[in-house]
Amino acid sequence: MKKDLLTLADIDLNDLENLFDLTRKMKAERGKSNYRPLSGKSIGMIFAKSSTRTRVSFEVGISELGGNALYLDESRMQVGRGETVADTANVLSRYLHGIVIRTFSHQGVEELAKVATIPVINALTDEYHPCQILADMFTILEYSGKVKGTKLVFTGDCQSNIANSLILGAKLTGMELVFAAPEEFKPRADVIGNASNISWESDPVKAAKDADYLYTDVFVSMGFEEERKMRLEKLMPYQLSMAMVKAAKPSVKILHCLPAHRDEEIAAEVMDSEYSIVFDEAENRLHVQKALLAMLFDR
């Protein structure tokens, strides 16, 4: 495994299998194990965006592994007042043992990781959200016993950080990934490349046919508030609806990375239905990230 996790392109299938094996063990042994690979280590958590799941899951995970989590508000750091990313990376590398960062610019995170001599974990940028997709795929593994060959349909904004990371996850695992979106929100061809297991469909109900999993995310992500009216107008026909659920397999499961805006990107009756496993998915952020931290620091 590489020093950093910036996107899912940073791990291979063997890394993924080892990560999920460790995740399964850590989840089963939570509260019972004395395994503390972060003992004596301090992890800086740089946040430029509001957060519930990311902050809490990482802080709890770092603590349970014996480490010390430092919450760093990017707007109150000198990098928010003009200090270069490189200078910040050099300084933090001398204080900390690792960095978790949730921010806007993916390029900035790449620059941080390039200069830093300590591991950097991308906890979300505008382009990629690898930790979320790792949790998603682990949840699929728990419910289906496999990831390869399962059909996941993502509906809505298919150019988002979730969509981009799902593409990398599908390329890594062989999962069948179908995107449902209007033309202007089609997935990025440069991210898909020549992958034959990834496709786009303009009709969301048709896309959902025989799906094992249906997935969506907010239509208006942080940083895109000025486009709210346009996005809702274009994307509301792609709401994760009961019509999509009925087109999928009878055993279909519903995923959402949260927070959910009921009756926007997902119908309330779907979000709260027996098909929904979104809170299992959210819980798995903790377990997967603990395993990721352990793999980065216990080697």
- Let me know whether 265 and 290 are in one domain: no
The pLDDT assigned to 229 comes to: 92
53-59, long-range: CB < 8 A, 24+ apart: 53/258, 53/282, 53/285, 54/102, 54/123, 54/124, 54/131, 54/285, 55/102, 57/285, 57/286, 57/289, 58/100, 58/123, 58/289
Q: Give yes or no for residue 280 having a pLDDT over 90.
A: yes
Residue 2 lies in a domain: no
pLDDT digits (tens, 9 = 90+) for 252-268: 999 999 999 999 999 99
The pLDDT assigned to 79 comes to: 82
> Six-digit token pair at 167?
């593409």
What predicted TM-score, i.e. pTM, was given to this entire model? 0.96
* Active-site pick, 106, 285, 287, 289: 285
* Active-site pick, 102, 106, 256, 287: 102
The model's confidence at residue 221, banded by pLDDT at 50, 70 and 90, is confident
The model's confidence at residue 276, banded by pLDDT at 50, 70 and 90, is very high
- Let me know whether 117 and 165 are in one domain: no
- Let me know whether 97 and 231 are in one domain: no
The pLDDT assigned to 197 comes to: 98
The pLDDT assigned to 223 comes to: 73
pLDDT digits (tens, 9 = 90+) for 109-145: 999 999 999 999 999 999 999 999 999 999 999 999 9
- Let me know whether 275 and 143 are in one domain: yes
- Let me know whether 229 and 202 are in one domain: yes
* Active-site pick, 4, 53, 106, 132: 132
To the query of whether residue 102 is one of the catalytic residues in this protein, the response is yes
- Let me know whether 77 and 205 are in one domain: no
Residue 1 lies in a domain: no
Cross-strand bridge partners of residue 43: 69, 98
Length of the chain: 299
> Six-digit token pair at 198?
């990834």
| Nearest C-alpha neighbor of 216 from the set 253, 174, 184 | 253
* Active-site pick, 129, 231, 256, 287: 129
- Using CA atoms, how far apart are residues 26 and 105, in angstroms rounded to an integer? 32
- Let me know whether 56 and 189 are in one domain: no
- Using CA atoms, how far apart are residues 195 and 111, in angstroms rounded to an integer? 28
Residue 91 lies in a domain: yes
- Let me know whether 235 and 211 are in one domain: yes
- Using CA atoms, how far apart are residues 128 and 132, in angstroms rounded to an integer? 9
Total domains, the chain: 2
* Active-site pick, 217, 231, 287, 289: 217
The model's confidence at residue 92, banded by pLDDT at 50, 70 and 90, is very high
- Region 205-212: mean pLDDT is 98
- Let me know whether 175 and 115 are in one domain: no
- The CATH number of the domain holding residue 291 is 3.40.50.1370
To the query of whether residue 257 is one of the catalytic residues in this protein, the response is yes
The pLDDT assigned to 225 comes to: 82
- Let me know whether 171 and 57 are in one domain: no
The pLDDT assigned to 109 comes to: 97
Residue 146 lies in a domain: yes
To the query of whether residue 132 is one of the catalytic residues in this protein, the response is yes
pLDDT digits (tens, 9 = 90+) for 13-36: 999 999 999 999 999 999 999 999
Q: Give yes or no for residue 210 having a pLDDT over 90.
A: yes
To the query of whether residue 217 is one of the catalytic residues in this protein, the response is yes
- Let me know whether 151 and 265 are in one domain: yes
Q: Mean pLDDT for the chain?
A: 96
Q: Report how far apart, in Å, the C-alpha atoms of 291 and of each of 18, 35, 44 are.
A: 9, 11, 18
Residue 3 lies in a domain: no
To the query of whether residue 129 is one of the catalytic residues in this protein, the response is yes
- Let me know whether 94 and 139 are in one domain: no
Q: Give yes or no for residue 215 having a pLDDT over 90.
A: yes
- Using CA atoms, how far apart are residues 150 and 167, in angstroms rounded to an integer? 14
The DSSP H or E segment spanning 233 is helix 228-235
Q: Give yes or no for residue 46 having a pLDDT over 80.
A: yes
Residue 253 lies in a domain: yes
To the query of whether residue 228 is one of the catalytic residues in this protein, the response is no
- Using CA atoms, how far apart are residues 295 and 19, in angstroms rounded to an integer? 7
**Spatial CB neighbours of 34, under 8 Å, sequence gap ≥ 6:** none
Residue-number span of the structural domain to which 151 is assigned:
132-281
